[in-house]
Structure 1
Amino acid sequence: MRYHYEKPTIYLSMYGKRYICDHPVYDSCTLFEIGDKGLAVIQQRYDAETKSTFWTEVDAWLTDALYVHPKFKEFFDERAGTCTDGLWPTVTIRQIMWALKMKPLQKQRWETVFDRRDI
């Protein structure tokens, strides 16, 4: 039995789009929009050369799995909002996966978390 979400061998990325912005935490994210509301989702990366982490858009193989999940619309309606000064309400990939009760991505040693709900 798998305990973590694993990358499928075949996948599509039809939902969500890369959004470039000037957020204090990240420069790009995956944006899901329904009507005039949107939700930005970010994922943490590690640069082995500089030994630093940064936040960016979600892996393309995760976007459709999130969007077509039966509980996504409910989560979206609760957390999404309108764009303010070029910024959308933001969640991390772990926050949304836990909320949707999906198996999470395997946690890496270098990962950090936000200790507040809003980013």
Structure 2
Amino acid sequence: MRYHEEPPDIWTNYYGKVYRCDHPVYRVSTLYMERDKGLCVIQQRYNEETKATYWGPIDPWLTDKIYLRIGFKEYFDAHAKKKDSHGYFPTVTVRQLMWALRMKPLKKERWETSFDHVPI
């Protein structure tokens, strides 16, 4: 049987902040920042009315869980950078980050697409 990450009954949301920009793939993400280096994390969402998907910030119950996970600091140091010339930070999907940190995956929905190992 496969197990998936589920929202806990009690959670905190201290780390990571909602970041708005005009990136070609998304408009809102969760930004983990240290000094002038940052890493944006996005999660795919589904709009029932329009049957369209879009990328946005990760679930708030995941922000601290990811940040406090063993290995996050090393992952952040390896992938986070200063804003580029367009004003974008490096971006990863929540699935890419969870796999890298060896966390249980989120339940995959039928409508989800992926960037797997491609830079965003």
What secondary structure sits across from 2:78 in the alignment?
helix
Work out the number of aligned pairs and report it. 119
Identical positions, percent: 58
Do 2:28 and 2:57's aligned partners in 1 also have CA atoms closer than 8 Å? yes
TM-score when normalising by structure 1: 0.96
Which residue number in structure 1 is paired with residue 4 of structure 2?
4
Q: Distance in 2 between matches of 1:36 and 1:65?
A: 23
Aligned AA for 2:43?
Q
Aligned AA for 1:76?
F
Aligned AA for 1:73?
K
Counting only pairs closer than 5 Å after superposition, residues 12-91 of structure 1 correspond to structure 2 as: 12-84=12-84, 85-91=86-92
- Runs of 4+ off more than 2 Å: none
Alignment gaps of 5+ in structure 1: none
Do 2:81 and 2:90's aligned partners in 1 also have CA atoms closer than 8 Å? yes
TM-score when normalising by structure 2: 0.95
Alignment gaps of 5+ in structure 2: none
Q: Distance in 2 between matches of 1:80 and 1:9?
A: 31
CA pair 23-53 structure 1, distance change in 2 beyond 3 A: same
